[in-house]
A and B are shown apart, each in its own frame.
Chain A
Amino acid sequence: MPKRVVGPTIVLAALAFSAVTRAQTSPLTPQADSPAKPAAGQNENIHVDGWNRPQTSLEASGKKPGPAPVRDLSGIWEPVPGYRDGVFASGPRDMPSDPAHEAMMPYTALGKETMDSHKAGFGVNQAPISAINDPFNICDPIGFPRINLFNLRGVQILQTPRQVLILYQNTRTWRNIWTDGRALPTEITEPRWFGYSVGRWVDPTTLVVTTIGLDESTWIDNTGRPHSDELSVEEIFHRVDEFNIDLTVTITDPKMYTKPWVPLNKFRLGMNSPDFDIREMICSVSQQLLFNELMKDVVPQSPNK
């Protein structure tokens, strides 16, 4: 073999072998922490779970979804078509904080004034990191509904006869939605970061959740949309078929907004394999303070993905 062909041949063979090895790895076999990198070549975008095992959603893997099961949202879910499509750094998909959408926001005078006082990392109120007054920038609890409207990544939904429980990758937190027929509290004596939620099945595949009693210090999204103690959030979880849920979120807050608005309209969540491990995504105060210090003179321009 001519000498000049040997090098590329070895590289190609190594790449091919590495691809075959990766493709044939059992989904239950953890990947090496730091696999040897072949000379030349480049990395690939291969979605992995918390145990670094390559994963695709069930639908993307070629399986055909069956019909939606009755009154059942349980499973492990991620945004589709891409697992990063729920990051929403610059505001939720259907109401991002750009000039065009901001002009459509139905702020009251108080809502506009409060929005203007919020110095965010992204959106129309973007500020240098040293000037940001986002409560999540010091790792205050992200709260609801922001947990749905920023960095919505992996979620696991569990059901009991009385509750629907949602476990979130982002900040490794959870919500409990009571489905036992109780009414919402008539008086909120203790506002909560994640509020008080009740859900009712309006048809065999649609759960409508209402949440009130939310702590006023939280932001609705990553761009600083405000809320008051009168915030009420409606979520519609529609199980489209076996592998898909469409989530619609509606914000109602008469102190801050003249009419309801919809940050997410039929945002799709796709089912993952039942052995998909949701990785940690923790807001650590010490790490956040390090970030704030290293980045204090910078205004990020690229999406926070």
Chain B
Amino acid sequence: MRNTLRLSLLVAVGVFAVSIPLFAHHGNASYDNTEVTIKGTVTAWLWTNPHSFLKVDVKDENGNIVHWVCENNAPSTLVNFGFTAKTFKPGDEVTVVMSATSKTLPVGRVRRIILANGYVMNASVP
């Protein structure tokens, strides 16, 4: 189990490390198919229309906190995937896999969120 956890952490860090340079290479601010993965602490879960948002604080390589905005689907859609207004609370540790914006904005469109216990919450049809 301990080895599995170590492996998961390594994979998460690896994906993060690989994703950031890709993320930084594009010019304008639109979502693209580049995948970015972040791991951090929830500061807010906004169950709002037209779309919901998970705000996550992530420590960068210099130890600075980056405030990420993770755009998620409309509540009317997310309820069908098991999300509710109470799915996240400040302080939760999460890993978020997103489509990145092609500009160096800490903003992305959620593909899936992995809870601290490993449970995967897809934001749409996989």
Beyond A279-B76, A288-B49, A288-B50, is A299–B31 a contact (Cβ under 8 Å)? Answer: yes
Complex CA gap A47/B82 in Å reads 9
Interface size on B, residues (CB 8 A): 44
Q: With A282-B49, A283-B49 in contact, do A305 and B81 touch (Cβ < 8 Å)?
A: no
Given A128-B29, A299-B31, the answer on whether A46 and B82 have CB atoms closer than 8 Å is yes
B71: interface (CB < 8 Å): yes
* A2 interface residue per 8 A CB criterion: no
Nearest opposing residue in chain A for B115, CB measure: A37
Enumerate chain A residues within 8 angstroms of B119, measured Cβ to Cβ: 37-43
Assuming the A-B contacts A41-B120, A287-B49, are A46 and B32 also in contact, with contact meaning beta carbons closer than 8 angstroms in the complex?
Answer: no
Q: Indicate if B74 sits at the interface (CB-CB under 8 A).
A: yes
Contact with A along B34-75 (1 / 0, CB 8 A): 000000000000101111010000000000000001010111
Is A297 on the interface with B (CB-CB < 8 A)?
yes
Residues in A lying within 8 Å of B, measured CB to CB: 7, 33-35, 37-48, 52, 83-84, 128, 153, 169, 279, 281-284, 287-288, 290-291, 294-295, 297-302, 304-305
Chain B contacts for A48, CB-based, 8 A: 79-80
Chain A, Cβ-Cβ closest to B79: A48
Interfacial residues, chain B to chain A (CB-CB below 8 A): 1, 28-32, 46, 48-51, 53, 69, 71, 73-77, 79-87, 99, 101, 103, 105, 107, 109, 112, 115, 117-122, 124-125
- Give the residues in chain A near B74, CB-CB below 8 Å: 281, 304-305
**Cβ-neighbour of A281 out of B76, B86, B105 (below 8 A):** B76
Minimum Cβ distance to chain A for residue B59 (Å): 21
In the bound complex, residues from chain A placing their C-beta under 8 Å from that of B107 are 294-295, 297-298
Q: Which residues of A contact B75 (CB under 8 A)?
A: 281
User: Which of B1, B29, B50, B51 has the most A CB atoms < 10 Å from its CB?
Assistant: B50
**Residues from chain B with Cβ under 8 Å of A279 in the complex:** 76, 79
- Given A279-B76, A302-B31, A305-B77, A290:B48 Cβ within 8 A: yes
B81–A45 CB distance below 8 A: yes
A291-B48, A300-B31 known; A39+B105 contact, CB < 8 A: no
Interfacial chain A residues near B115, Cβ < 8 Å = 37
Set of chain B residues within 8 Å of A43, measured between Cβ atoms: 81-83, 119-122
On whether the beta carbons of A299 and B30 are closer than 8 Å, the reply is yes
Q: Which residues in B have their C-beta under 8 angstroms from that of A83?
A: 80
Query: How many angstroms between the C-alpha atoms of A124 and B2 in the bound complex?
Result: 51
> Within the complex, what minimum Cβ distance (angstroms) separates A3 from chain B?
10
Chain B residues contacting A46 (CB-CB under 8 Å) are: 80, 82
- Would A42 and B31 be within 8 Å (CB), given that A48-B80, A282-B49, A288-B49 are in contact? no
Residue of A whose beta carbon sits closest to that of B33: A301
**What A residues does B32 contact at CB under 8 A?**
301
Give B65 Cβ to nearest chain A Cβ, in Å. Answer: 18
A42 touches B1 (CB 8 A): no
Q: Would you call A7 and B48 a contact (CB within 8 A)?
A: no
- With both beta carbons as reference points, the residue of chain B lying nearest to A47 in the complex is identified as B80
4 shortest interchain CB distances as A-B pairs: A299-B30, A42-B120, A287-B48, A37-B119
Cross-chain pairs A/B with CB under 8 angstroms, 21 sampled: A7-B1, A37-B119, A38-B117, A42-B122, A43-B119, A43-B122, A46-B80, A46-B82, A47-B80, A84-B77, A279-B79, A283-B50, A294-B107, A297-B29, A297-B101, A300-B109, A301-B32, A302-B31, A302-B99, A304-B51, A305-B124
Please name all residues of chain A whose beta carbon is closer than 8 Å to the beta carbon of B29 when the two chains form the complex.
128, 297-299
Partner of A169 from the list B48, B50, B76, B103 (CB cut-off 8 Å) is: B76
Residues from chain B with Cβ under 8 Å of A305 in the complex: 73-74, 77, 124
Say whether A52 contacts B84, CB under 8 Å: yes
- Which residues on B sit within 8 Å (CB–CB) of A39? 117-119
B81, A281: Cβ atoms closer than 8 Å = no
Q: Which of B32, B79, B86, B121 has the most CB of A within 10 A?
A: B79
